[in-house]
Structures are given as structure tokens and as C-alpha cells.
Amino acid sequence: MKRRNFIKSSSLLSSAFILPGYTLKSKKNIYNDKIKLSLVGCGGRGTGAVINALNADDNIELVSMCDVFKDNIESSLNYLKDEFKGTSKIQVKNENCFSDFDGYKKTIDNADVVILATPPGFRPEHFKYAVNSSKHVFVEKPVATDIAGIRSFIESAKIVKKKKLNVVVGLQRRYQPSYINTLKQVKRGIVGKITSGIVKWNSGGVWVKERLKNQSELEYQMRNWYYFNWLCGDHIVEQHIHNIDVANWFIGDYPISAQGMGGREIRKDKKYGHIFDHHYVEFKYQNGTTIHSQCRHQPGTFYEVNEKLIGTKGIVNLDDSGIVSITDHRGNTLYEYDPIDDKSPYQIEHDLLFKSIRQGDQIDNSDYAARSNLASIMGRMATYTGKVIKLNDVLKINDNLVPNNLTWNSDPPIKPDIYGNYEIPRPGNKM
């Protein structure tokens, strides 16, 4: 399966992330024997991550699975059994499949390494339990949908560092050879100082699932998690985080403010929940750099997912296909990258994760994942309110979109009116 094609002075962030970068030498948690893997969240992304994980090491087996929907577990397990037919890598017993809201705890308890791939709203709580249980983690992006979730993730990241656990986050461009090699060119000064850029995730959108007869509101929203902020964070957070993270990575810093606009022009039907179908954001950095951010989910429109970074000496053109070019301001080619022999970054991130575990090293992506996630949330806040959102102000917010202690008898935090419509964010109003 294929995945879809702060400033340093802030007390909140600096207290959690003392060490820059993501690799630290350690000699704990060395595995010489079979590694037991568990999956929390059995959709397409989780299933794909399991395939990558099981292909990363000869001595790994999947032992436990969890999803609030039993049919997701069954579908994923059947696919994996077929994918690894003739091997002993799928060792999931019925008693180790859990389809309730607290099932993630038992699933995590069964493993050495955990894949967290539920809708993002649940990510902070699952991550907290995993690292408190001393598990190595592959965690999908984004890591949170709200500021409270970011705070929780940061607190858990402190435990990661203390216990020297491995954490890889699914911002796979950080592992993509074309991006890594191009960044080396940028660092040696080929384009000078990056002063601006344009990052885009413009596409026709994703799936939608029709409401079923006698379906509870909570089940409907969780089946259609992409269209509800408490679960997804809107597509500027769920998808566009990739491109925003690339800008942060190449600039070497994170936005201090965001302002922008957005709305619902095409996806106006109530089946699309209450998220926007387009966002435009202007991110400002401490050093004066400005990044212009676009993301769009509108069927029938052209597809463009890429990053362009403009420096004083040249322009970097990046694309997730791996095709890269650097030109000067007259259009002369300064650098090109041919990705023809490159391994998939989705596989590389798992290869390095399990290699690090075997060798007793540490990979920790939690720093940049939290910071880029926070930036994308700032972007959403800017488009929803029409106001300038400043980092220092955001860090004081204590919002919490995700309810605690959910059961199937719980009401979701967002409810439709008597006509089945959801309240849409309106610029000029509060969040």
C-alpha cells in the first residue's frame, strides 16, 4: 500500500527539546532477538506502515492490532496475511485484536515497537501511553490536532529523551534522498540566504463515506474523520504539514507568525463536515523569511504538490517525486538530482528505525514533528479567524478539541444542527 501522494526562545519548546537534530548515541534497548510489532489504527496508512516495518528487518513479527472498528482490523489483517504469505511474520491471534477505545493499551503492551496510525486527534494520548511503557514508536503525522495535543506530545517527548527511545515520525521527505542531497547543496551556499518560498498541496481531495442508517453521530464522524477538526485538524494540518515542514527544514527555523485566508467554495455539502476546502497562509520567520503556503481540496482542479525556495543567489525546486532542480535567477541550472535508483522514503524511515533499535542507537524526530505541527495549526487558526496568529500568543492557549474518555455512548465535540449541518468557522469570529 502506498501513502498519499517556534521560536528557540519559547519556554514551552526549548524546555522539551534541548538537543537539536534527531540522532543521539545510546547503548540501551538493544534487540538481538525477534522484535514484536503492534499496530494501532488499521486503515490504509497503518497497513502500509506495517508492510514497510516487516520488510525492514528479517526478524520482526506483527503480534497485535487495534482499531475501534472491527472491520478495519479484519480487512488489514487479511491484506497483510496475503502480502506475507509463506512467511511467519504475521503472528496475530484473535485474542490480541482489540476493537474498543482502550484497546490501544493492550496492543501496545504486547509489543516492542508500535505503529500509531489512528486519526490524528488520538495521537497524543496513544504516544503518551507508548513512551510511558518504554516502547519504540513509528508515529504518523500529524502528531496532534490542537494546542493541548502539542503540549501533551512535547511532555511525552521529554520521556523519549530520558529513556533513549526511538521515535520516527511519518514526515518522510526528511528521509528522501533527493531532499537530503539538495539540502546539502543549500547548506554549502549554492542559493545564498533563503528569503522566501512557496509550498503547495493542491489536489482534488480525499474519500468521503456516506452516512449509514441508524449510525450514531460519533461513528459517522469517526468513519469520516478527515472532515472534522478534532479528529483530523483540517487538511492544512493533516496533509500540508509535509510541505510546511520542508520549508522549516530548509530554512532551519520555525514561523513566529501566520496570517491568511480560506473557506469552502466547492465542498459545501454537510457530508464534508466543517473543514475548509482551501487555505492560503503567509508564514513569517524570525530572520525575515516569508513562506507562502497553499493547500486546496477541490475536485476537477489541477494537482500540484511541491516546494519552491527562493534564495539570494538561486531557486530550489523540490517535488515529492524526487525530481529536483536548482537554478540561478537567470534560469541557468546549478544542480539537478536524478532519483531513478532511490529507495522509497517510506521504506527508508523504517529501515533506519529498526537499524537504530538493533544497534542501540537513538533516532528521535519528536522535536521537528511537534514544531512543524504547531506551525500548521497556527496556519489553520489564521485562516479560520482572519487574524494574525503569533507564536508567543498560541503557546498560552489551552484549547482541547479532543474529548477525554470516549465511549460509543459519548457525544462528539462537534454536533450538527436540526438540518444536519455543522457550524463552519467564520473569519472575524473567535475560534
Specify the CATH number for the domain of residue 91: 3.40.50.720
Q: What's the pLDDT tens digit per position in 269-286?
A: 999 999 999 999 999 999
Tell me how many domains the chain contains. Answer: 2
pLDDT (tens, 9 = 90+) of the chain, 431 residues, equals 333 333 333 344 443 333 333 344 444 456 678 999 999 999 999 999 999 999 999 999 999 999 999 999 999 999 999 999 999 999 999 999 999 999 999 999 999 999 999 999 999 999 999 999 999 999 999 999 999 999 999 999 999 999 999 999 999 999 999 999 999 999 999 999 999 999 999 999 999 999 999 999 999 999 999 999 999 999 999 999 999 999 999 999 999 999 999 999 999 999 999 999 999 999 999 999 999 999 999 999 999 999 999 999 999 999 988 899 999 999 999 999 989 999 999 999 999 999 999 999 999 999 999 999 999 999 999 999 999 999 999 988 888 999 999 999 999 999 999 999 999 999 987 65
What is the Cα Rg of the chain in Å? 21
Has residue 248 been placed in a domain? yes
Q: Are residues 17 and 104 in the same domain?
A: yes
Q: Which domain holds residue 77?
A: 11-173+346-365
CATH number of the structural domain spanning residue 195? 3.30.360.10
Which residue has cell 503492551? 109
Q: Are residues 50 and 147 in the same domain?
A: yes
Has residue 406 been placed in a domain? no
Report the distance separating Cα 104 and Cα 38, nearest Å. 9
Report the distance separating Cα 176 and Cα 322, nearest Å. 8
Q: Are residues 312 and 329 in the same domain?
A: yes
Q: What's the pLDDT tens digit per position in 118-171?
A: 999 999 999 999 999 999 999 999 999 999 999 999 999 999 999 999 999 999
Has residue 187 been placed in a domain? yes
Task: Check residue 30 and give its pLDDT.
Answer: 61
Q: Is the pTM of this model over 0.85?
A: yes
Has residue 408 been placed in a domain? no
Q: Are residues 262 and 274 in the same domain?
A: yes
Has residue 277 been placed in a domain? yes
Q: Are residues 188 and 207 in the same domain?
A: yes
Has residue 414 been placed in a domain? no
Give residues with Cβ within 8 angstroms of 398, minimum separation 6.
Answer: 147, 148
Has residue 401 been placed in a domain? no
Q: Are residues 156 and 210 in the same domain?
A: no
Q: Are residues 103 and 248 in the same domain?
A: no
Burial-class residue 55 by CB neighbours within 10 Å (0-12, 13-18, 19+). Answer: middle
Task: Check residue 430 and give its pLDDT.
Answer: 65
Q: Are residues 200 and 287 in the same domain?
A: yes
Q: Are residues 146 and 54 in the same domain?
A: yes
Report the distance separating Cα 349 and Cα 355, nearest Å. 10
Length, in residues, of the chain: 431
Q: Are residues 236 and 336 in the same domain?
A: yes
Assigned C-alpha cell, 241: 504539514
Task: Check residue 396 and give its pLDDT.
Answer: 86
Has residue 411 been placed in a domain? no
Q: Are residues 146 and 44 in the same domain?
A: yes
Q: Are residues 188 and 150 in the same domain?
A: no
160-175 b/e with 16+ CB inside 10 Å = b? bbebbbbbbbbbbbbb
